Structure 1
Amino acid sequence: MFIIDLNYIVPLDELDVHMADHVKYLRKYYRKNIFVASGRKVPRTGGIILALADDAATMNKIICEDPFYKYELAEFTVIEFLTSQYHPDLKTFLER
């Protein structure tokens, strides 16, 4: 599992120009059961994506498709971790 931590590096009005494409990108990977959860930080300085991928190379390839990455609107930090505990309702999803 991966935590993708985005930190915006441009003004929000510049970021918002690409928001529709970013949402389209997110929906693509929700449909593929890669993304588990995502959202804005409070205050709005970036975002978080919780994702499943086979390995870091695959995760990095997926990140490269994000318009926020392609247009250098945010810095991305990727943290890989092994789930040792999780809510029972996630068991089926995580064992895909």
Structure 2
Amino acid sequence: MYVVLLTYTAPLPEIDYALPDHAEWLARQFELGRLLASGRRADHRGEVLLSRPMSLGTLEAALAGDPLLLRHLAHHEVIEFSATRTGPELRAINEALAG
């Protein structure tokens, strides 16, 4: 699994202008089953995405299509982790229980 931290690098008015396109991109990622959760960081400096388990290459390819990144309005950090404990809602994707 991955946590993706998006950090805005442009003024908020520019971010707000691009958000409808970014929201469409997010909706598509959810439709494709790539994301479990997304939301704006409390400090309004960016966003957090939680992905399903997949290859890093698949995730990076998906991120490459994010309008915020394409327009150089944000940069991202990908944090990979193996879920060893989850709540019941995420048990089906718990990598430690898979197999």
TM-score, with structure 2 as normaliser: 0.90
Query: 2:83 maps to what in 1?
Result: 83
- 1:17 Cα shift? 1.0
One-letter amino acid of the structure 1 residue matched with residue 81 of structure 2: F
- Partner-residue secondary structure (3-state), 1:37: strand
One-letter amino acid of the structure 1 residue matched with residue 9 of structure 2: I
Query: 1:72 maps to what in 2?
Result: 72
Contact 1:7 1:46 in 2 (8 A): yes
Query: 2:60 maps to what in 1?
Result: 60
Give unmatched runs, 5+ long, in structure 1: none
How many residues end up aligned between the 2 structures? 95
Contact 1:53 1:59 in 2 (8 A): no
One-letter amino acid of the structure 2 residue matched with residue 90 of structure 1: L
Give identity over the alignment, percent.
Answer: 29
Query: 2:22 maps to what in 1?
Result: 22
Structure 1 segment 35-54 matched on structure 2, within 5 A: 35-54=35-54
- Partner-residue secondary structure (3-state), 2:28: helix
Q: In structure 1, what is the Cα distance between the partners aligned to 2:87 and 2:4?
A: 20
TM-score, with structure 1 as normaliser: 0.93
Runs ≥4 residues deviating over 6 A: none
- Partner-residue secondary structure (3-state), 2:83: coil
Q: In structure 1, what is the Cα distance between the partners aligned to 2:78 and 2:68?
A: 14
Contact 1:8 1:46 in 2 (8 A): yes
RMSD value over aligned CA atoms? 1.4
